[in-house]
Amino acid sequence: MTTCLPHLQNLLGGLNSTSGVPPVTCVVADNLMSFAVDAARELGLPAALFWTASACGYMGYRNIRLLIDHGIIPLKDEEQLTNGFMDMPVDWAPGMSKHMRLKDFPTILRTTDRNDIALNFKLHHVEHAEAADAVIINTMDELEQPALDAMRAIIPAIYTIGPLNSLTDQIVPCMDPLHKVSSSLWNEDHSCLAWLNGRKSRSVVYMNFGSVTVMSNHELVEFAWGLANSGQDFLWIIRPDIVKSEAAVLPPEFSEATKDRGLVASWCDQEAVLRHDAVCVFLTHSGWNSTVEGLCGGVPMLCWPFFAEQQTNCRYKCLEWGVGMEIGDDVRREVVMKRIKEAVGGEKGREMKKRAAEWREVAIRSKETSSNNLDSLINDVLLSATAVTRRCISDGRRRRQHDRRSGLVAMAMATEQQRFEARGEERCLQQQGVVMGAFMGAFTVSSILPTYLCWASFFTKAFQLNNAIFAE
C-alpha cells in the first residue's frame, strides 16, 4: 500500500516525459492496486478500478467496518469459529441479503486481531475505491441490483460490463486471432470435451475447485467416494497441487469403481465444458468467474467455498438466485452423494435447473447493456482526458500523418506466454495508431483466467471508438 505508489508514479512520469512517446491518457487498475488512482491524480488523468469479484462480495467487505463498529469482530477467541457464533444472522447489513450469516461474509473477518494484515489491507483497498473515477465490475444489474444500488450510493460511477466472457465474444469476431489466446494458468486437457461428446445429455457432474483452492487428502477422498456413490458420470478437474503439502492421490478402489463413467484431468476449458449439453451439475468453490460461467451455461451448482468472498457468492447462489446447494465445511461422502442426487433428480434440483436456465437467458440479454456500458466507460471516463490530446493532434495532424504511434502500458501478472501475447497485441495496436494509455494491475489469481481477453477486447473497443481522433 505504501511502497508501490512511487514506482508507478515514476513509470507514468517517465512515459509522459519521453520524447516521441504519446502520453498516457488513462489508468485502469485492479482493485487491489488502488494506489494507481493516486498516481493518476498526480498527472490529472482519469482512473478506473476493475473490481474482479461480485458486487455482493464488495458489499460484504464494506460491511466488515460495521461489524467492527458493532463489536462483532475481531473475534474474541478462536473458539468462536467452531462454537456456533459464526451462524449469527446478520440481516441488517446495507446492500446485503437478509439471509446473511456472519460466516457468509468474506473470510478476512475470521481473525482475533484487529491489526491483522490481510483484514486491513483489504479494507484499505475496498474503501479507497471511492477515489476512483469509475469502478468496473463483471456482473449484471439484474443479478445483483440491491448490492449495486448500495455500491452506487458510495461510488456513483459503477459500470457493469458482465458477463465478460459473453462481452468478449460479442466484441471480438469468432475468426479474430484473439480468440486463440488462452490465459489459463494450467495446460488445458482438450480430451475433456471429446469425452463429454460421448456422454448423454445432462448426465455429467462437472467438478472443479479453481486455480488456488487446496484441501486435505481426507477431503479429496470424501469427495471421491461421494461422486462414486452417486452413480453419476463425472468430469473431475484435479490440479497437481490441490492437496496441501502432498500429492493428490485417489484410492485405487475409486478408480476401479468409476472407470467406465468418470474422467479425471488436471485442467480444462471450463467455459466450453459448462456450455456443453452433457453437463448437468457444477460442483464448485464458488469463485466469481466460475459462478458467472456457471450462470452463463445455465448449470445448477453445488458449493464448497474456500476463502475470500466465495462464502458470500455461495450464500447468494443458494438463497438469492436459487441455483445452488451447500456441501458444508465438513466434507462427508454421504452429504456429497446426497447433494448430487438431489441436484440431478430431486425436486430441489428441478427448481435449481429452472432458475439456472432463467439466469442464462438474463446473461444473454445483458450483452447489449454491457456493451453500451463499456462504450460509456471509454467515452465518458477513460477518454475524458483526451481533449488536450485531440487539440494537439489537430494542430499537428498533417505533420504526423505518416507517423502515428501509440503507447500502451500493460502490466499484468501472467505467464511468459501471456506476456508474449500481450506484447504482440501491443504491437498490433501501435500499428493501428491508437493513442491509449493504461495500467493493468496484478490481478488476483482467481480472476486472471478471463482477464487478458477482457482487456484485449477493451483496447480493441477503445481503438474503434477513439479512431475518429486520428481521422482526416
The C-alpha cell that represents 436 in the structure block: 491509449
Q: Are 153 and 59 in contact (CB under 8 A)?
A: no
DSSP states of 70-97: TT--S-SSGGGGTSSGGG-B-TT-TTS-
Question: Which tens digit of pLDDT belongs to each residue from 320-349?
Answer: 999 999 999 999 999 999 999 999 999 999
Does any domain span residue 169? no
Write down the number of H helices and E strands in the chain.
18, 10
Does any domain span residue 300? yes
Does any domain span residue 207? yes
Same domain? For 233 and 153 the reply is no
Q: Which of 320, 335, 362 is the last residue of a domain?
A: 362
Does any domain span residue 404? no
What is the structure's pLDDT at 312? 99
What is the structure's pLDDT at 175? 74
Question: Which tens digit of pLDDT belongs to each residue from 10-47?
Answer: 999 888 888 888 888 899 999 999 999 999 999 899 99
Q: Which of 109, 142, 160 is the last residue of a domain?
A: 160
**Angle at which helices 117-128 and 55-62 pack, to 10 degrees?**
120
DSSP states of 337-384: HHHHHHHHHSHHHHHHHHHHHHHHHHHHHHHHHHHHHHHHIIIIIITT
Q: Are 244 and 306 in contact (CB under 8 A)?
A: no
Does any domain span residue 382? no
Q: Are 122 and 61 in contact (CB under 8 A)?
A: yes
Q: Which domain holds residue 327?
A: 191-362
CA distances from 252 to 206, 231, 255 (A): 21, 17, 5
- 237-241 long-range contacts, Cβ below 8 Å, gap at least 24? 237/207, 237/208, 237/209, 237/264, 237/265, 237/266, 237/267, 237/268, 237/270, 238/264, 238/265, 238/266, 239/186, 239/209, 239/211, 239/266, 239/267, 240/266, 241/214
If you ran DSSP here, which 8-state letter would residue 259 be given?
T
CA distance 288 to 266: 20
The C-alpha cell that represents 291 in the structure block: 459462478
| Residue ranges, the chain, pLDDT below 70 | 1, 179-183, 185, 385-472
What is the structure's pLDDT at 408? 31
Same domain? For 136 and 77 the reply is yes
Same domain? For 147 and 201 the reply is no
Which residues contact residue 253 at a Cβ distance below 8 angstroms, ignoring those fewer than 6 apart?
none
CA distance 393 to 131: 30
Same domain? For 119 and 250 the reply is no
Does any domain span residue 65? yes
Does any domain span residue 81? yes
Same domain? For 281 and 339 the reply is yes
Q: Which of 362, 395, 426 is the last residue of a domain?
A: 362
CA distance 67 to 71: 6
Count of C-beta atoms within a 10 Å radius of residue 391: 10
Same domain? For 125 and 65 the reply is yes
Q: Cell 464458488, residue?
A: 286
What is the structure's pLDDT at 186? 76
Residue 59 sits in a domain whose CATH number is 3.40.50.2000
- What is the arrangement of strands in the sheet containing 134-137, beginning at the earlier edge strand? 27-30, 47-51, 134-137, 158-160
Q: pTM to 2 decimals?
A: 0.84
Does any domain span residue 436? no
Same domain? For 110 and 198 the reply is no
CA distance 157 to 152: 7
Ranges assigned E (strand) in 82-166: 134-137, 158-160
Same domain? For 126 and 211 the reply is no
Same domain? For 196 and 336 the reply is yes
Same domain? For 301 and 235 the reply is yes
Q: Are 26 and 383 in contact (CB under 8 A)?
A: yes
CA distances from 290 to 45, 56, 86, 472 (A): 33, 15, 25, 45
Same domain? For 61 and 208 the reply is no
Q: How many domains, the chain?
A: 2
Same domain? For 152 and 241 the reply is no
- What is the arrangement of strands in the sheet containing 262-265, beginning at the earlier edge strand? 262-265, 233-237, 204-208, 279-284, 301-303, 324-326
The C-alpha cell that represents 270 in the structure block: 471450463
